[in-house]
Homo-oligomer: A and B are copies of this chain.
Amino acid sequence: MPYKPPVRDYAFLLRDVLELERYANLPAFADAAMDTVDQILEEAGRFTGEVLAPLNSVGDKEGCHWAADFTVTTPKGFKDAYAQLVAGGWPALGADPAYGGQGLPHVVNLAFSEMSSAANMAFSMYPGLTHGAYSAILAGGSPAQKDLYLPKLASFQWGGTMNLTEPHCGTDLGLLRTKAVPQGDGSYKISGQKIWISGGEQDLTENIVHLVLARIEGAPQGTRGISLFIVPKFIPDKDGNPGERNAVKCLGLEEKMGIHGNATCVIAHDEATGWLIGEENRGLSIMFVMMNEARLGVGMQGIAQAEAAYQAAAEFAKDRLQGRSLTGPKNPDGPADPIIVHPDVRRMLMDAKAIVEGGRAFLFWTALHGDLAHASPDEAVRQKGADYMALMTPVLKGFLTDRGFQVCSDAMQVHGGSGFTEHFPVSQYLRDCRIALIYEGTNGVQALDLVGRKLAADGGRGVMSFFAELDAFIEANAADATLKPFTEGLARGKAELQEATMWLMQNGLANPDNAGAASTDYMHLFGLVGLAYMWSLMAKAAQAKIAGGSTDPIYAEKLTVGRYYIARVLPETTGHLVKLKTGAETLMALPADSF
């Protein structure tokens, strides 16, 4: 049961819901006429479905191999697939035309990324991190650095990595010890050990560009003394080709629960030669440019694995004959009914559709705001786009990966015992998906970023703008009978989210532990209301198509799944609100040594 890229759903979102063609006058969108986008996504569906997906299980079962000469071999088939990825020009989709890219809107590239991730998450992390390194150099590099590195990274000819974590520091980067000693010629000698470096060594690319956080000798302790360096595996020669081998090597690979096809490396820098990106001691701010982009991408990974797991579960549920419907046989000529007749199996499949399709809409809607933050000529649109990107990123990362993992687990449950065996693909989806709740900042860190930074930023401008947008939608559509479940559900959810926001503003300052104690429940409450709005937008778009005479079944389906979301997922908001309003007291009451 191979993964089938949901290209029809992308077209629905881009064409009917986000109405991409409205922006055809903007630079990035000019080359993204919907017919072109449709063609790109169809072709991307073929590439990811036919080239990447068949290697997913291979990568999981074989894993990566480390050898005593510090080389790493990726699973059988990965090298060839990577060559096809590069040859097909796929890297160019999201890259700047100045460096060989097509410069399409991110929202279009996001569809390609989702398909790649769903087809083969471990594989797609190699180009994913490369794109991250590209973004960091684009954001903070000198003109010479950009000219030297960006074309190679934009084409995926070279790989890229993020070297942040050390054995004693992950979330708290202020503790990091890797040191950089200036050589007087503009270069530095970098020394230290980094762990959990995805794609830190591999056999896919002729060079690897490590972006390394390190502390310049004499720099302040803590986060204000951290700088960012480019440390290439092979130092580019005067023609920009891979030259001298640098003193950076992979000491071993991590054994992990999933993403076995991606090499998670221990990387030793032993007086490796590196070059500073941006200013001294300002490395974290550039790294966070890359990190924020990566966080939206991780939210996408949660949805991507959930989509793939859902597809496997739906197919199983339609094929597997077991028991009879409670309301009488639905397959009377067969020995039993397909298990999709059972309401509790439906519940898991409907939850999956509601979360995956709603979550995808939330990702695309936010990514479009991100595009508009750069491309719009209207200052207010740019500001709102940037506000929404900042506000929604932790929600997308935390909420969608938590729920995506739950969808994967439900998809396993639909399979019964078969799901627990490695003959079926769902165990891998579940195991691979699990990392998305952890990396690029754990979901708890996302929740704290949301309540501690993003909510209050610019006097709460982003969240107030979002509330106003919800109110406007509710008011504009209150009289519409078809949309009534949506406007009513959204109004209830929004009232609870607003109450929670007020509670946080009043109690988070009084005792910061109240904000911490409320953070995860608040993030989920926000995510649930966000998806209610997405389903409302999708319902409105679908209803308009039906009113316009379309008989494409997708529109009626969207209304049905949306009503399910409002009735059977959204009511979880109340529990989150009640919980978070209890504050930190019962949470922090137990002495630490009682654990």
Residues of A near any B CB (own CB < 8 A): 165, 168-172, 174-175, 196, 254-258, 314, 317-318, 321-323, 325-327, 335-336, 338, 340-350, 353, 405, 409, 412-413, 416-417, 419-423, 427, 430-431, 434-435, 437-439, 442-444, 447-448, 511-513, 515-517, 519-520, 553, 557, 560-561, 563-564, 567-568, 571-575, 578-579, 582, 584, 586-590, 592-595
Contact = CB atoms under 8 A, between A and B. Distances in A.
A326 B344 CA distance: 43
A553 B553 CA distance: 63
A248 B31 CA distance: 67
A52 B158 CA distance: 49
A433 to B, nearest CB: 11
A251 to B, nearest CB: 15
11 contacts: A172-B323, A172-B336, A256-B422, A326-B513, A344-B444, A344-B447, A346-B587, A353-B595, A420-B434, A557-B594, A563-B586
A426 to B, nearest CB: 9
A263 to B, nearest CB: 14
Contact of A327 (B512, B573, B586): B512
Contacts of A341: 592
Contacts of A519: 343-344
Contact of A590 (B350, B588, B590, B593): B350
Nearest to A442: B416
A564 B517 CA distance: 12
A555 to B, nearest CB: 12
Contact of A595 (B314, B344, B447): B314
A561 B590 CA distance: 8
Nearest to A325: B513
A43 to B, nearest CB: 26
Contacts of A323: 171-172
A420 B447 contact: no
Contact of A257 (B170, B314, B343, B422): B422
A483 to B, nearest CB: 15
Contacts of A255: 421-423
A563 B589 contact: yes
Given A344-B517, A413-B442, A563-B586, 18 more contacts: A168-B321, A171-B322, A171-B323, A196-B417, A254-B421, A257-B421, A341-B592, A343-B517, A349-B595, A353-B595, A417-B438, A420-B435, A420-B438, A567-B579, A568-B587, A571-B578, A573-B575, A574-B575
A409 to B, nearest CB: 7
Give the most central of A343, A515, A563: most B CB within 10 Å: A343
Contacts of A437: 409, 413
A416 B446 CA distance: 13
A327 B318 CA distance: 54
A593 to B, nearest CB: 8
Given A350-B587, A587-B347, A322 B568 contact: no
Nearest to A435: B420
A338 B348 CA distance: 38
Given A443-B413, A588-B346, A582 B594 contact: no
Contact of A417 (B343, B420, B439): B439
A169 B322 contact: yes
A586 B571 contact: no
A589 B412 CA distance: 23
A516 B175 contact: no
A517 B409 contact: no
A568 B592 contact: no
A317 B590 CA distance: 14
A567 B582 CA distance: 7
Contact of A413 (B422, B444, B512, B574): B444
A553 B341 CA distance: 52
Nearest to A585: B567
A595 B357 CA distance: 12
Given A587-B346, A590-B557, A413 B430 contact: no
A317 B568 contact: no
A366 B504 CA distance: 41
Contact of A336 (B175, B567, B593): B175
A258 B417 CA distance: 12
B574 A578 contact: yes
A588 B564 CA distance: 9
A299 to B, nearest CB: 16
A257 B430 contact: yes
A434 B448 contact: no
A256 B421 contact: yes
A592 B318 contact: yes
A260 B560 CA distance: 42
A125 to B, nearest CB: 13
Contacts of A335: 175
B564 A586 contact: yes
Contacts of A594: 553, 557, 560
A568 B579 contact: yes
Contacts of A579: 567-568, 571
A442 B412 CA distance: 11
